[in-house]
Structure 1
Amino acid sequence: MTDVSDLLHDRAEPPSPPPAAAYAVADAAARAAGVGIRTLDSVADLEAVRRLYERIWRTGESSPVVTADLLRALAKAGSYISGAYHEGELVGSCFGFFSPPARGALHSHIAGVLPGARRRNIGFALKLHQRAWALAQGVGEICWTYDPLVRRNAYFNLAKLAAEPAEYLPDFYGPIDDGINRSDHSDRILVRWTLAAQDTAAACAGRPRRVDARAALDRGAAVALGVSPGGGPSEARTTHGAQTVLVAVPEDIEGLRESDPACAASWRGAVRDVLAGLLGDGGRVRGFDPAGWYLVDRGDTSQETA
C-alpha cells in the first residue's frame, strides 16, 4: 500500500547470508515457539487467513482486513504469504508484496498472531521465516509500518528485529474500522529491515538491540515528551542543546482508546508533533526502551521542542 522506492538509497550492502542459514535460524525460532510455519497459496488456507485477521482486529465479515481472493492473486504473483500452525490450528500469519525497484525490496503489509497465542515469540518466528524466504528470492530489504503508540510493537520492531525507522507517516491509512484502532488516526512509522545487516543477524540470533533511557538521561539526554501525573502527554518547554532526546508513549494505548478516548487522542497528537518533528529535522531513532521511551539522536541540537 506504499511506495518505498524513495527510501532505497545507493549504499554498499553487506553480503547476504546463504538462505539455508537463514532458514535454519527461522526453523529454530519456530520450534522454540511451538509452531510450524509454511507459505500458503490454496483458497482454503487463504480463507483461513482472512478469518484469522478478522479475529485479531475484531472487524467482522462486513469489513475484512483483507479478502481471500486478493491474497490468492498476491500468491499467484509470487508474493509472500505464510501461516503459523500450532497443533493444526492457524494462530498467526504474515503477508507482503514486492516494492520498486522490481523485486528489490518486500513491503510486509500485515502480520498478526491470535491474542491467546501471544508471548510465545510466534510473531518473531514469522518474521524470521519471511526474512529467509526473501533472501532466497534475492531480496535484501523488507519494509513495513507500525503504530508508534503501541509499546510492544515498537520494542518488537526496533529492538527484537533491529529494524530502522525511516519515516513518520501521519494518518497513513485514513480511518480504520476495527476494534483496535477505533476512531484514532492511523499514524504509522515506516521501518526498513536490512536483511544482511550485522544488527539484524544478531537480533535473529536472539540478541536484540537494547537501549537504556535511564542511562541516556544520566549522560545528558533530555525528555522531549514525558508522562504527566494524570497519565497524559507532557511536552518539554525546551530541549535546547541536548544531542539525545527521549519521547514517551503510553503504557497501553489500546486500553486507553476504550477507557479515555480524549487522552488517547492527546497522545496521538503529541507523539506526532514531537517524534515526527524530530525525524523531519534529521533525527535518528536509536532504539526503544521497553519502559516506554524512544531514544532519538537529533540532527540539529540548536532546535527546540516546545
Structure 2
Amino acid sequence: MNTSEAAQDSLAAASSAGVEIRELWELADLDQVYRLYDSIWRPDPKNPPVTTELLRALTKAGNYVGGAYDGDDLIGACVGFFGAPAEVTMHSHVAGVSGSARGRNVGFALKLHQRAWALERGVTAISWTFDPLIRRNAYFNLTKLAAHPTEYLPNFYGQMADGINNGDDSDRLLVRWQLDAPTVITAAHRQSTLAAASTNSGAQTSTGSAFSTPSGHLGGLLREATILLGVGDDGRPVVGGSYDARGTVLVGVPGDVEGLRGSDPGAAKEWRLALREVLGGLMADGARVTGFDRAGWYVLEHPVKGLI
C-alpha cells in the first residue's frame, strides 16, 4: 500500500469537510478533546469516555489522538492505541464529532487521517466497536469505510449511564478495518461530498407484510432475501423467523434508537434483546455480514447446509 496515496486521500477528505486534522499531544489540546467528548456523551462524571490524564499517557506512549478543527474550534476527535506487537494492529477506542458539524463528513475525514497515520507506522488493520442498533453508524462503518464485522459482543462495557446510551446494555459489533484491502482503498478514494450520509426516509411498508422491506441502494437485489428481523408498524421489532434460515438474510434496525431510548425505553430494550438474539445468533452460527443497506438492514450470507 502506498502511504503517500493514503495521505492524499486524508487531505482530500479533510478539505471536502472544511476542516484541518492534526495529531494532538499538547496538554491543552488533549483537554479540549476531553471536553468535546463530555459535551457529546454527557456521561456520568465518574465514568467519562476518556480523561485528559489518560490521553496524555497514551500520546506519550506513541498512540494516536487526532483532532478536526474548524478554524480554532475542535469539532471532532479520534483516539486509538496499538494492539499486541505481533498483530500489527490498532484499536480505535473512541471517536466523536460535535452535533453542530454532523453531515459534513468530519468523521470520514478523521478516520482517513487515522488510516494514513497507522499505515505510516506499519499498521495494516484497525479495529473498533460500535452500537449495532444505531443505523447511521452501521452505514458509516460498513458501507462508507468498508470495515468488516467480526464479532457480536453482548453488553461489552456494561450498562452505560450517559446522554446517548441512557442506561441501555452496551452490545457492540466489533469490526476490523483492513487498511490495505481493495474495498477499503476504493472507499478511501471517494469524495466526501459524493459519500454524504443519507437520510432514513423512503422505507415503504409492503402490503401484507408486518414490517418494511428494503428500499435503499441494495433494495432491488434483496427483495428475495429472507427477513429475520424487521420493524413493525408500531416501531417495535418483529422477528420474521428462525436464524436457521440459509442464503441471504436481512436483519433490520429502528430508524432512531437513541430517540426511542428517551420516548419509549421498553421498546428500545426490546430492540436490544431482539438484535442480540438474531444478529448475534446469526454471527455465532457462522453467518457473515456482507453489507448494510441505507434503509436500515444488515445483509448477511448464511452458509447453505453442507457447504463451507
Aligned to 1:99: 83
1:200-239 correspondence to structure 2 within 5 Å:
200-206=184-190, 212-218=217-223, 220-238=224-242
Distance 1:47 1:298, change over 3 A: same
**Structure 2 unpaired stretches of 5+:** 196-215
Matched, 1:28 2:28: no
Q: Please give the alpha-carbon distance, in whole angstroms, between the structure 1 residues aligned to 2:27 and 2:255.
A: 39
The code of the aligned residue for 2:285 comes to D
Matched, 1:196 2:180: yes
Q: Please give the alpha-carbon distance, in whole angstroms, between the structure 1 residues aligned to 2:239 and 2:305.
A: 17
Q: Shift of residue 59 of structure 1?
A: 2.0
Q: Please give the alpha-carbon distance, in whole angstroms, between the structure 2 residues aligned to 1:56 and 1:48.
A: 12
Q: Please give the alpha-carbon distance, in whole angstroms, between the structure 2 residues aligned to 1:301 and 1:242.
A: 7
Normalised by the length of structure 2, the TM-score is: 0.88
The code of the aligned residue for 2:239 comes to E
The code of the aligned residue for 2:222 comes to L
Aligned to 1:280: 284
Count of aligned pairs: 283
Aligned to 1:10: none
The code of the aligned residue for 1:214 comes to G
1:249-299: CA deviation from partner (whole Å, max 9, x where unpaired): 000000000000000000000000000111011100010011000000003
Q: Shift of residue 244 of structure 1?
A: 0.6
Q: Shift of residue 215 of structure 1?
A: 2.4
Q: Please give the alpha-carbon distance, in whole angstroms, between the structure 2 residues aligned to 1:37 and 1:214.
A: 36
8 Å contact from structure 1 (residues 243, 301) kept in 2? no
Q: Shift of residue 21 of structure 1?
A: 1.4
Q: Secondary structure at the match of 1:153?
A: helix
* Greater shift in the superposed pair: 292-301 or 255-264: 292-301
Q: Shift of residue 212 of structure 1?
A: 4.4
The code of the aligned residue for 1:92 comes to G
Q: Please give the alpha-carbon distance, in whole angstroms, between the structure 2 residues aligned to 1:48 and 1:103.
A: 31
1:165-192: CA deviation from partner (whole Å, max 9, x where unpaired): 0000000001212110011100000000
* Greater shift in the superposed pair: 230-239 or 196-205: 230-239
Q: Please give the alpha-carbon distance, in whole angstroms, between the structure 1 residues aligned to 2:183 and 2:26.
A: 35
Between the aligned residues of both structures, percent identity stands at 53
| Superposition RMSD in Å | 1.7
Matched, 1:135 2:119: yes
Q: Secondary structure at the match of 1:25?
A: helix
Q: Shift of residue 43 of structure 1?
A: 0.8
Q: Please give the alpha-carbon distance, in whole angstroms, between the structure 2 residues aligned to 1:187 and 1:79.
A: 26
The code of the aligned residue for 2:241 comes to R
Q: Secondary structure at the match of 1:190?
A: strand
Pick one of 249, 258, 261 that aligns with 2:265.
Answer: 261
Q: Please give the alpha-carbon distance, in whole angstroms, between the structure 1 residues aligned to 2:176 and 2:8.
A: 23
8 Å contact from structure 1 (residues 30, 125) kept in 2? yes
Q: Please give the alpha-carbon distance, in whole angstroms, between the structure 2 residues aligned to 1:191 and 1:45.
A: 28
Aligned to 2:68: 84
Normalised by the length of structure 1, the TM-score is: 0.89
Q: Secondary structure at the match of 2:222?
A: helix
Distance 1:263 1:213, change over 3 A: farther
Q: Secondary structure at the match of 2:85?
A: coil
Aligned to 2:200: none
8 Å contact from structure 1 (residues 222, 239) kept in 2? no
Distance 1:23 1:48, change over 3 A: same
**Structure 1 unpaired stretches of 5+:** 1-16
Q: Please give the alpha-carbon distance, in whole angstroms, between the structure 2 residues aligned to 1:288 and 1:250.
A: 13
Q: Secondary structure at the match of 1:274?
A: helix
